[in-house]
Structure 1
Amino acid sequence: MVFTIKIKNAGKVQDVTLEDTDTGADFKLKIQHQTNIPTDKQKILIKGGKLNDDSVVKDLNLSQPVMVLGTPNNNINKVEIPKQVFLEDLNQNQLVKVSDEPSGLVNLGNTCYFNSSLQSLYRIDDIREGLKTANSTNSFVNSLKRLFDMMSKKQERINPTLFLASFRENFPQFSEQDNHGFYKQQDAEESFSQILNVLLESIHMKGKLTINLKTESKCLALPEEPVVTGQEDALKLMCHIDIKTNFLRDGLLNGLKETLIKHNDTLGSDAEYEITKTITKTPKYLIVHFVRFYWRRDTQKKSKILRKVQFPFELDISEMLDESIKPTKAKFRDDLRKIEKDNFEMVRDFKKAKKDDSLSPLQQQEEDQLKLESIKSKFEDDFNSLLKEHNIDEQLDSLTENPSSVYKLSSIITHAGSSADSGHYQSFAKDEGDLEDEHWWKFNDEKISRVSRDKIEQLSGGGESDSALLLIYKASGL
């Protein structure tokens, strides 16, 4: 809400336009713009005492003109004060910025690991929506709920101090300080995982994120022994990196097979066992962890594997599936690709369509939004029809499992540097408003910018620059 305050300076009364959230510092800056009196030279007389920089102006008693004293400096470089404009007056590019740009998070001192974790968790639709309706007695969950509520309002920058305090209280390992009393840099993957583990139970996310695996254990020294089968759950697929790992697929397949030593009763001694895992349930969201950090005893630090490992925007995990589900997942995948092709052609036609010059920017935005909603609605109808054809009783909006084997990349947490406890973490997320997946958001703490798909492809590593650490995929079509 905009309001006006009168100031009196050099015998003249002038109007200063402010907004509800403006502080004393903002007020002084606008006075400088109108009077040329530098902010540090201003003497502002208000009823009740001094105007502090952090005071919220609308809460002060300013019904009478405010007296401003000070000597103007006509050579001062004026700070440009944004002119008040109405939504109807903005062009299309400005409208996108106003309506779509997400919130940044202030770095509170080596908290980029924390901010990047929060931005990626916020991009998981079901976590965001689940927190909105959560009725929890857990203060940690409620604190995160309040923070996400602030982020949903798309403020320019948000200070996450309250949730950071709750986070460190619940996980004291993130309160570690150096010899100078400063909080240390931490591992974003550990931060992400700790927060996620709390949310799994509190907002019932377990079914949408948990991977079910079948394990087969075979003794290599006694191949005639029966294979022992079992089951286990995981929240992430591990991409193990060695000198032969060039692509995500290679690392994931390596992560589903391991060799270990354990006691064999028949031999009466230890023996080598090969453990093979296959996926028996494909969750709605698939989290992939590049295992880039390892502990070096000589430096007493988590060092980083700098090898370049390419990852796809579309991940098909069919060769990692158990034979019990592979045929049905592959059939749904092939049928889904047909309706996705139709959807892509509709989006392409929409992009090529000529704009109506008789519409205002706001009217054009509303018209475009209606067309996009129509395209989305048709896709949802086609998807629900496909579920019926495959005898799946659920609807699109209630699915917790991926009916196919294909996932689309949704967000990324990256690390720049050579060790986990130094360097810089950032996150990147797909712009959900872009149906062609060409534009992404880059979250560098409070600094938010748009980047192209080409930039995302450069996050595969190969040096100390930004390297993907966590990938969050979402089931194709969901």
Structure 2
Amino acid sequence: MFIITNHTLVSIKNAGKVYDIELDPNDTGKVLKERIYELTRIPAIRQKILIKGGKLGDDEVVSTLGLNTKQPIMVLGTPDKDLPSKPVEKQVFIEDLNKNQLATVSSDPSGLVNLGNTCYLNSSLQSIFQIEDIASRLKTFTVSGSSSSNPSQALLSALRLLFQQMSSKHEKVTPSLFLSLFRNVYPQFAEQDNRGFYKQQDAEEAFSQILTTLTNELKTQDLFKISLKSEQKCLALPDEPSKITYEDATKLNCHIDIKTNFLRDGILGGLKETIEKYNDTLQSNTEYEISRTITRLPKYLTVHFVRFFWRRDTQKKSKILRRVQFPFELDLSEMLDESIKAEKVKIRDGIRKIEKDNLDLIRDFKKSKKDTSLTPLEQKEEEELKVLSIKTKFADSLTSILPEGFKVDGATENPSSIYELTAVITHAGSSADSGHYQSFVKDASDLDGERWWKFNDDKVSSVSKDKIEALAGGGESDSALLLIYKAVGL
């Protein structure tokens, strides 16, 4: 248990700032709230103090709460100077609000306007926008020197502005500046047909080029870097020593053939291949088998369904329509190199136990009724507090099973072997040069992953988990092209 001795400092975090507060052993919640007000100017009645049990009562002795002193206590609320005047009209509830009123408390994300065959770009941007590490690094990005002399920096500056607009929850955002600069940096996306219209492009290629720019300018490669160990063995001479090499990649490929039914099968197929090359001992060409194992797992894992292939007869990128199922939680343990496998699996098992323990909290949260005495804004804040409380409990439990010295904040490598699905880019149609791209992004505020956002350019709607499962393919309707996974717990 956490016991506060005389004049012990307790940290709180509000609006990105950390404050230290001095407390005595018998100080109550009321005293803590008064100290918080002195530092943040948030009145006690507006303070949302994030502790495992939920709300902090005025009469509770803080030293008996078992707080985690390794992490600052999160405090939400609005300072005095920003407080609106108390309304005199009767209580209004969310279900009674009109469309304009609802917009002020809505958390719906922004759509992106299609500027003429730009769905491939919009779906890529929506998927990248949900990667918190990129969004946060862009906020502090500044152009060094003249943007005209560095087109890539100008592109990132436009991306930062675009993400700022999307963060403001506008119903629609027009990415015209970013599109113009994107085509300038990567001219292949400016290709036009014989009528002067911009052609449809491949979303995977657009996604990869944006990540390339982010890597070059923001040094984000560690967030996505997969390290691989390759063993090359001569099949005709099994006793000949294998050749070991190492390489890095930014995504895993899921190769699809007539036997591929599940994502696992396609990834394993991509990690093994047979090539033909010259052998000095045999003095002739012979077959070699290349087997790859993973030696580093990134925080964000991108998986590419290799659905498009070039057809000479039609001179187009045709699409493999086969249905390939993918999981919401992906475990890569069987693909890991023995040098890291045992530790990753141990932490995986610990995380699954924590997830099981958290299920009751999530169920209780889902079943809880809204407090009808609160305003719509207060109801929204109350829900956010409960979600943060559950997530913080998970984070505290995770810290206890991680290797000594491993810091969750700023981590770029997955400490375990499991990932959770956070975004899907899909394609509908039979060719990469036609059809339509959309993206589906997991609602970060929904603890059990049942609610997802569907981005059809500027049309944004909420869909269930069942809809995501239906994106496995099997025809010309929406089928997954890119999957973005995030390390569980990070």
Give TM-score scaled by structure 1 length.
0.79
Structure 1's 355 and 174: CA in aligned 2 closer, same or farther, altered over 3 A? closer
Matches within 5 A, 1:362-377: 362-377=377-392
Q: For 1:135-176, what per-residue CA distance to the aligned partner results, in whole angstroms no more than 9, with x for missing partners?
A: 243111111111111111111111111100100000111111
Aligned to 1:475: 487
The one-letter code of the counterpart of 2:251 is: K
Structure 1's 339 and 190: CA in aligned 2 closer, same or farther, altered over 3 A? same
Q: Could you tell me how far 1:252 is from its partner in structure 2?
A: 0.4
- Residue pair 2:105, 2:380 contacting (<8 A) in 1 also: no
Matches within 5 A, 1:10-409: 89-91=92-94, 98-137=105-144, 138-387=153-402, 390-391=403-404, 393-409=405-421
- Residue pair 2:105, 2:377 contacting (<8 A) in 1 also: no
Matched, 1:426 2:438: yes
Q: Could you tell me how far 1:200 is from its partner in structure 2?
A: 1.4
Helix, strand or coil at the partner of 1:325: helix
Q: Could you tell me how far 1:367 is from its partner in structure 2?
A: 2.2
Helix, strand or coil at the partner of 1:252: helix
The CA distance in 2 between the partners of 1:413 and 1:368, in whole Å, is 29
Matched, 1:455 2:462: no
Q: Could you tell me how far 1:92 is from its partner in structure 2?
A: 5.8
Q: Could you tell me how far 1:362 is from its partner in structure 2?
A: 2.9
Helix, strand or coil at the partner of 1:434: coil
- Residue pair 1:210, 1:233 contacting (<8 A) in 2 also: yes
The one-letter code of the counterpart of 1:178 is: D
Aligned to 2:52: none
- Residue pair 1:186, 1:421 contacting (<8 A) in 2 also: yes
Structure 1's 183 and 207: CA in aligned 2 closer, same or farther, altered over 3 A? same
Matches within 5 A, 1:429-448: 429-448=441-460
Which stretches of structure 1, 4 residues or longer, exceed 6 Å deviation after superposition?
Answer: none
Structure 1's 264 and 164: CA in aligned 2 closer, same or farther, altered over 3 A? same
The one-letter code of the counterpart of 1:423 is: G
Q: Could you tell me how far 1:395 is from its partner in structure 2?
A: 2.1
Aligned-residue sequence identity (percent) comes to 64
Q: Could you tell me how far 1:450 is from its partner in structure 2?
A: 0.4
The CA distance in 2 between the partners of 1:380 and 1:87, in whole Å, is 40
The CA distance in 1 between the partners of 2:314 and 2:272, in whole Å, is 30
The one-letter code of the counterpart of 1:181 is: G
Helix, strand or coil at the partner of 1:319: helix
Q: For 1:420-467, what per-residue CA distance to the aligned partner results, in whole angstroms no more than 9, with x for missing partners?
A: 000000000000111110000000000000000000000000000000
- Residue pair 1:383, 1:396 contacting (<8 A) in 2 also: no
Number of equivalences: 390
Helix, strand or coil at the partner of 2:339: coil
- Residue pair 1:247, 1:309 contacting (<8 A) in 2 also: yes
The CA distance in 2 between the partners of 1:205 and 1:127, in whole Å, is 8
The CA distance in 2 between the partners of 1:422 and 1:317, in whole Å, is 33
- Residue pair 1:136, 1:202 contacting (<8 A) in 2 also: no
The CA distance in 1 between the partners of 2:298 and 2:429, in whole Å, is 32
The CA distance in 2 between the partners of 1:141 and 1:372, in whole Å, is 32
- Any unmatched runs of 5+ in structure 2? 1-88, 145-152
The one-letter code of the counterpart of 1:358 is: S
Q: Could you tell me how far 1:87 is from its partner in structure 2?
A: 13
Q: Could you tell me how far 1:99 is from its partner in structure 2?
A: 2.9
